[in-house]
């Protein structure tokens, strides 16, 4: 009897989390426009041709406020700026990431107190005003818990409460400027079982945010679901990965006391020759299956594959080889597979 009741309960959870929202509709790619050869319009066209409906890219503080109190489009961000301004004309709805420190404030440290949060909010407000009507999705910070873009401060990463305060202030400011904006928060990996730079895991960090009330200021939660080097080999499979996310989501719902949409804003595998690397055929199968399986889960609103283009040509370097396209822009085996899958889905 007890086993039967447990089975029924698990089935109910499965049905609920697969029916809370409409099906996943956004499939996009991570981009680095500023590092690409040629104008951003070339790559917007490639993104569209591949069947994607979105891209995700940083619009970092340090690139728009290079003199205190003066906001402008510096040379370091011109291509990225053009991509966001022109995305809508290509039928793309991008995620703009507001992130990282600025050397003009606290020596480039995280926004740790109300004063530095206010400084960050002024930057975010300028960005929201610039892209009102052009950008719908704003993500507040990227990978806070592991210090991405903040290497100097990895030994002193601020708490979840500091991040919550940043999200609260930034979200309220953006919503005043653009009530139609969708705010994403999080940018963490719930599959990571280790505590890296903080003394808690990403899951515990997120639980703290839920208890603080992060969902009052975020329209969705951004997660990264890399697992190609995970110590649990079952999590390296598409099924194991997404089954774990189902459990994580169900647990998070209980803590939050409500349901909420998840956005998988980064997932990918690398074709490098080291541990965890995949062949082109293996990665094509993995990414195709991942998109298909994620789309069957109604609480997942979008998936962004990291990333569009290999960052380099050296096959021994892990971070160079996540691309769907080779560094010379020739397609990997995964590219036509994705295009066929997405075009078929877009026609339904």
* Entry pTM: 0.93
Confidence at residue 346, expressed as pLDDT on a 0 to 100 scale:
65
Helix spans in the chain (H)? 2-17, 40-49, 78-86, 114-131, 160-177, 202-212, 238-256, 280-295, 334-346
Confidence at residue 6, expressed as pLDDT on a 0 to 100 scale:
38
Confidence at residue 19, expressed as pLDDT on a 0 to 100 scale:
38
| Cα angle 304-310-314, degrees, rounded to a multiple of 5 | 145
Confidence at residue 320, expressed as pLDDT on a 0 to 100 scale:
97
Q: How far is CA 317 from CA 34, 149, 169, 267, 273, in A?
A: 21, 19, 39, 18, 8
Confidence at residue 334, expressed as pLDDT on a 0 to 100 scale:
98
Q: What is the mean pLDDT of each run of 10 residues along the chain (348 residues)?
A: 42 41 78 96 97 98 97 97 98 98 96 97 98 98 97 96 98 98 98 93 98 98 97 96 98 98 98 96 98 96 98 96 97 97 77
Confidence at residue 344, expressed as pLDDT on a 0 to 100 scale:
82
Q: What is the CATH number of the domain that holds 74?
A: 3.20.20.80
What whole-number distance in Å separates Cα of residue 206 and Cα of residue 189? 10
Nearest Cα to Cα of residue 144 among 183, 83, 180, 197? 197
Q: What is the count of structural domains for the chain?
A: 1
What whole-number distance in Å separates Cα of residue 128 and Cα of residue 122? 10
Provide the β-strand partners of residue 184: 139, 220
What are the E-state strand segments in 19-119?
26-30, 54-58, 95-98
Per DSSP, 198 falls in state S
Q: Residue 99 belongs to what domain range?
A: 2-346
Please spell the DSSP secondary structure of 130-195, one letter per residue.
Answer: HHTTT--EEEE-S-GGGTTT-GGGGGGPPPHHHHHHHHHHHHHHHHHH-TT-EEEEEEE-TT--S-
Residue with tokens 């049905």: 15
């Amino acid at each position: 009897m007890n086993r039967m009741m447990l089975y029924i309960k698990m089935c109910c959870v499965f049905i609920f989390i697969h029916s809370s929202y409409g099906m996943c509709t956004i499939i996009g790619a991570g981009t680095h426009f500023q590092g690409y050869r040629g104008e951003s319009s070339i790559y917007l066209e490639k993104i569209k041709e591949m069947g994607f409906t979105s891209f995700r890219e940083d619009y970092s503080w340090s690139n728009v406020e290079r003199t205190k109190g003066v906001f402008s489009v510096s040379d370091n961000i011109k291509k990225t700026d053009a991509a966001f301004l022109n995305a809508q004309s290509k039928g793309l709805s991008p995620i703009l990431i507001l992130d990282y420190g600025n050397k003009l404030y606290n020596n480039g440290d995280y926004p740790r107190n109300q004063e530095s949060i206010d400084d960050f909010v002024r930057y975010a407000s300028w960005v929201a005003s610039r892209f009102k009507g052009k950008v719908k999705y704003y993500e507040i910070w990227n990978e806070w818990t592991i210090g991405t873009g903040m290497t100097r401060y990895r030994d002193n990463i601020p708490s979840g409460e500091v991040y919550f305060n940043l999200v609260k202030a930034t979200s309220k400011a953006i919503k005043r400027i653009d009530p139609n904006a969708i705010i994403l928060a999080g940018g963490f990996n719930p599959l990571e079982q280790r505590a890296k730079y903080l003394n808690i895991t990403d899951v515990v960090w997120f639980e703290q945010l839920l208890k603080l009330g992060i969902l009052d200021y975020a329209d969705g939660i951004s997660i990264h679901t890399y697992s190609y080097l995970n110590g649990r080999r079952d999590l390296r499979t598409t099924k194991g990965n997404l089954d774990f996310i189902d459990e994580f989501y169900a647990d998070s719902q209980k803590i939050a006391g409500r349901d909420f949409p998840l956005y998988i804003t980064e997932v990918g595998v690398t074709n490098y020759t080291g541990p965890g690397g995949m062949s082109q055929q293996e990665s094509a199968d993995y990414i195709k299956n991942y998109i298909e399986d994620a789309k069957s889960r109604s609480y997942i609103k979008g998936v962004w594959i990291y990333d569009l283009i290999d960052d380099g040509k050296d096959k021994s370097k892990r971070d160079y080889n996540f691309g769907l396209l080779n560094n010379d822009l020739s397609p990997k085996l995964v590219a036509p597979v994705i295009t066929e899958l997405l075009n078929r889905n877009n026609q339904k």
